[in-house]
């Protein structure tokens, strides 16, 4: 068994090791992607699903589900476009901000 003093020393050594590991990893990570925001102007015949599909194909930073794009477009543009519309309707001429990773 460990004495109280040995436990304290062991705890301190482990804690210092964790702190050193954490500090060593901070700031060294290179960004793996860049978030891009584009403005898309809705064209006749567009649907929110087709727009989401188009921008999902532009995404180059890991796989994402089309529902994530669909709902992300609504969330990002809620106040300016979707707040007073039922069922997430879009109309030609609407300006949508859309994010994707490259």
39, 96 in Cβ contact below 8 A? yes
Q: Are residues 20 and 45 in the same domain?
A: no
Rounded Cα distance between 72 and 86, Å, is: 17
Helix pair angle (66-76, 48-58), 10° resolution: 110
- Residue 28 is predicted with a pLDDT of 54
Average pLDDT over residues 35-57: 94
Q: Are residues 47 and 64 in the same domain?
A: yes
Domain assignment of residue 13, given as a range = 1-30
Residue 53 has pLDDT above 60, yes or no: yes
**pLDDT by residue (tens digit) across 24-34?**
666 655 556 78
**pLDDT by residue (tens digit) across 9-26?**
667 766 676 767 666 666
- Residue 101 is predicted with a pLDDT of 86
User: What value does the mean pLDDT of the chain take?
Assistant: 83
Number of domains in the chain: 2
54, 70 in Cβ contact below 8 A? no
Q: Are residues 20 and 40 in the same domain?
A: no
Average pLDDT over residues 26-44: 80
Q: Are residues 54 and 83 in the same domain?
A: yes
């Amino acid at each position: 068994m460990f004495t109280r003093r040995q436990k304290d020393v062991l705890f301190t050594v482990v804690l210092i090791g964790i702190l050193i590991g954490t500090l060593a990893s901070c700031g060294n990570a290179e960004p793996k992607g860049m978030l891009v925001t584009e403005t898309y102007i809705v064209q006749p015949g567009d649907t929110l699903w087709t727009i989401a599909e188009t921008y999902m194909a532009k995404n180059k930073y890991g796989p994402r589900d089309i529902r994530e794009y669909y709902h992300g477009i609504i969330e990002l543009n809620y106040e300016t476009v979707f707040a007073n519309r039922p069922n997430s309707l879009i109309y030609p001429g609407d300006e949508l901000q859309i994010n994707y990773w490259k």
